[in-house]
Amino acid sequence: MTVQPQGGGARAAPAGADDAATLVGRAARRNLVLGAVILLLKLGAWWQTRSVALLADALESIVNVAAGAVAAFALWWASRPPDRKHPFGHTKAEYLSAALEGALVIAAAAIAVRESWRHLLAPHAPNEVGLGLALAGAAGLANAGMAFYLQRLGRRRQSPALLASAAHLWGDVMTTAGVLAGLLAAWYTGHWAIDPFIALLVAVNIVRLGWQVVRESLGGLLDESLPSGELAHVEALIAREMGGALQVHGLKTRRAGPRRFVELHLVVPGAMRVDAAHGICDRIEDALQEALPGTEVVIHVEPESHLEDEGAPGHESSVDG
């Protein structure tokens, strides 16, 4: 891919912005505390009704809280500064929770399926349906409030991690809404087989959410590239700030927890002074860090004899001047 530069100009460094790792960690702790409250509400709803659908909804929240606790600890560990043994930092500690989360998902889904099957064979009306629905409804509203908070904060701070957490919570809200709608329908019609059927659907959703979490963790451990949208944004910023250079090639990206890593080769005219080349590097680095907080940039400056032809064997994404 070749992109023409759009001009230069120094970029101002971000001022007054919270550290991305601190921001994500604070949000994770708040999410964990509220998640525990929501879990208690859902368990209370199940205890009052003995509805297997509400049990499945509570099991999903158990997975969320346990995963949130592990994530909060991992975020704290990952925020530790680099040291002699870990010169690249500790950010990959976040991904070590994948195995535990996977086990929790399997256990929760298995319990939900077992209870659903048992109630399908012998459907019965839950107890205290009105009170149970009220408790579950309160839990859903609290979840929606936290999801809205994380979504707004994530958009304002341009944090993919916060936006991902918000999307996960919105999914949980939709699950609770579906459970409530199904129980209301069963209550109105008297067909209580709807209750375990909804629980089976929730079990499938638990597996889906769990696989998504594990998949993202494995992707981080395997050093996957940034998502296509972020990668395109990185390329556009480089094109805008590389004025004076001839080409950028060998662009590589990856993510580890809240941090992004961008590595590239910057080809400059052979007669360019070192301070001028360094100024271009500073512009590119400042722009990336301002737009995508938590990004570490490594730039290798090369003379024009290292220009690469697009389409050459082994040639990677380039930005040409």
Examine residue 1 and state whether it is found in any structural domain, yes or no.
no
Q: What is the CA radius of gyration of the chain?
A: 25
**Domain, as residue range, for 286:** 228-320
Confidence of residue 8 (pLDDT cuts 50, 70, 90): very low
Give me the CATH number covering residue 172: 1.20.1510.10
Examine residue 96 and state whether it is found in any structural domain, yes or no.
yes
Torsion, Cα of 132, 137, 142, 144 (10° steps): 150
Average per-residue pLDDT for the chain: 78
Residue that terminates a domain, selected from 221, 254, 271: 221
CA–CA separation, 166 vs 185, rounded Å?
29
Question: What are the CA-CA distances from residue 166 to residues 30, 68, 98, 190, 227 (Å)?
Answer: 13, 13, 19, 35, 18
Residue that terminates a domain, selected from 202, 221, 240: 221
Confidence of residue 266 (pLDDT cuts 50, 70, 90): very high
Q: Tell me the DSSP string of 52-69.
A: HHHHHHHHHHHHHHHHHH
Q: Identify whether residues 204 and 295 lie together within a single domain.
A: no
Q: Identify whether residues 163 and 272 lie together within a single domain.
A: no
What distance lies between CA 15 and its chain's CA centroid? 25
Q: Identify whether residues 176 and 143 lie together within a single domain.
A: yes
Q: What is the pLDDT of residue 277?
A: 94
Q: What is the pLDDT of residue 50?
A: 87
Question: Which range is least confidently modeled, 51-55, 60-64, 117-121, 226-230?
Answer: 60-64
CA–CA separation, 83 vs 45, rounded Å?
48
Tokens of 127: 């107890």
Q: What is the pLDDT of residue 274?
A: 92
User: In sequence order, what are the residues at sequence separation of 6 or more whose Cβ sits closer than 8 angstroms to the Cβ of residue 44?
Assistant: 135
Q: Does 125 have pLDDT greater than 50?
A: yes
Q: Does 275 have pLDDT greater than 90?
A: yes
Number of domains observed in the structure of the chain:
2
For the segment 18-23, the average pLDDT, to the nearest whole number, is 58
Q: What is the pLDDT of residue 9?
A: 39
CA–CA separation, 242 vs 248, rounded Å?
8
For the segment 221-238, the average pLDDT, to the nearest whole number, is 84
Question: Which range is least confidently modeled, 26-30, 59-63, 234-238?
Answer: 26-30
Q: Identify whether residues 125 and 232 lie together within a single domain.
A: no
Q: Does 15 have pLDDT greater than 50?
A: no
Strand duo 295-303 + 259-268: pairing:
parallel
Question: What are the CA-CA distances from residue 52 to residues 110, 117, 119, 128, 150 (Å)?
Answer: 13, 10, 8, 14, 30
Torsion, Cα of 182, 187, 192, 194 (10° steps): -10
For the segment 163-185, the average pLDDT, to the nearest whole number, is 81
